[in-house]
Amino acid sequence: MKRDLLTLEDFSREEIDHLFELTKFLKQEKGKVRDDLKRKTIGLVFQKPSNRTRVSFEVGIWQLGGNCIYLGPDEINLGRRESTSDVAKTLSRYLDAIVARTNSHDDIVKLGREATIPVINGLSDQFHPCQALADIFSIIEKLGSVKGLTLAYIGDGNNVCHSLLLGSARVGLNMNVASPKGYEPNAQVAQKALSLAKTSGAEINLGNSPEEAAKGANIIYSDVFVSMGQEKERTARLKKFKKFQVNKKITHLADKNYIYMHCLPAHRGEEVIADIIDGIHSIVFDQAENRLHVQKAILLFLLAKKIGAHE
């Protein structure tokens, strides 16, 4: 049966560990051009603009010997110009996998249900699993493991936060979330994370105090206060999130050897001050690079039955 990556519930702890081993191997190859995806074509169905997601997938597919086709909203407007079901069934006749970046997570779910080829969530309004996998890989790369470590996520309980919650709970990484009241993570996602944490032993704490979240944390993570599609809420959001800026007051509460993370793009002076995101504790560009390596591993993992064993 074909496999999808729609949320991090789709991968077990053992599969994530395997994925990271493959990521490490691919990264050590330093961009070597392979032929694992020779004669394979991957479609990028993007309803939202992108920098890291599009470039990292296009480069990664090329480095694996595959062909990439970019399909923006002018070519495919899911559910409007054509039903999502029809798009999934049609593209399954042409392509070997789909990477989708959509406004609605429901569209990702429909693509996964109707397509007969693997579907990878490149971002939806609810989840961003590729980002979270790259983040957790980056933490292990920098700090050696996740055992006994705490990630403090400070800001909007958005798609990145949701995927980090599920990913942290899967691998046993403790996670503190601090969001303004009314902007907390989705309750169902939080409950799923708490359920997964019972197996991994991770501690998941949700609250509204950035200071409490940051105390003793090994990783401080933030994201923009105003995401794509929320521009009309900008004034209200900046007011609500003012106390959730990552600054020296916050980082002084963390472990002295903390690392700072951000999925980018960043707005210096809003969710984080420049001294921190551009400082010695920041690993944001290592994170960005690791999107490439992790996504190559995801493609190999999901297409393994089609391409045979790889090194």
Q: Residue 1 is which amino acid? A: M
Cα dihedral sign, 263-170-298-42: negative
- Across 10-35, b (16+ Cβ under 10 Å) vs e yields ebeeeebeebbebbeebbeeeeeebe
Q: Which burial class, exposed, middle or buried, applies to 311 when counting CB atoms under 10 A from its CB (0-12, 13-18, 19+)?
A: exposed
Cα dihedral sign, 245-246-248-252: positive
* C-alpha distances out from residue 148 to 59, 172, 194, 217, 293, Å: 35, 8, 17, 10, 25
Rg (CA), the chain: 19
Write the CB contacts of 231 (distance below 8 Å, at least 6 apart in sequence). none
Coil, helix or strand at residue 204: strand
- Separation between Cα atoms, residue 69 and residue 60, nearest integer Å: 13
Q: Residue 3 is which amino acid? A: R
Residues assigned a catalytic role: 101, 128, 131, 223, 263, 291
CB 27 within 8 A of CB 297: no
- Separation between Cα atoms, residue 80 and residue 84, nearest integer Å: 8
Q: Which burial class, exposed, middle or buried, applies to 280 when counting CB atoms under 10 A from its CB (0-12, 13-18, 19+)?
A: exposed
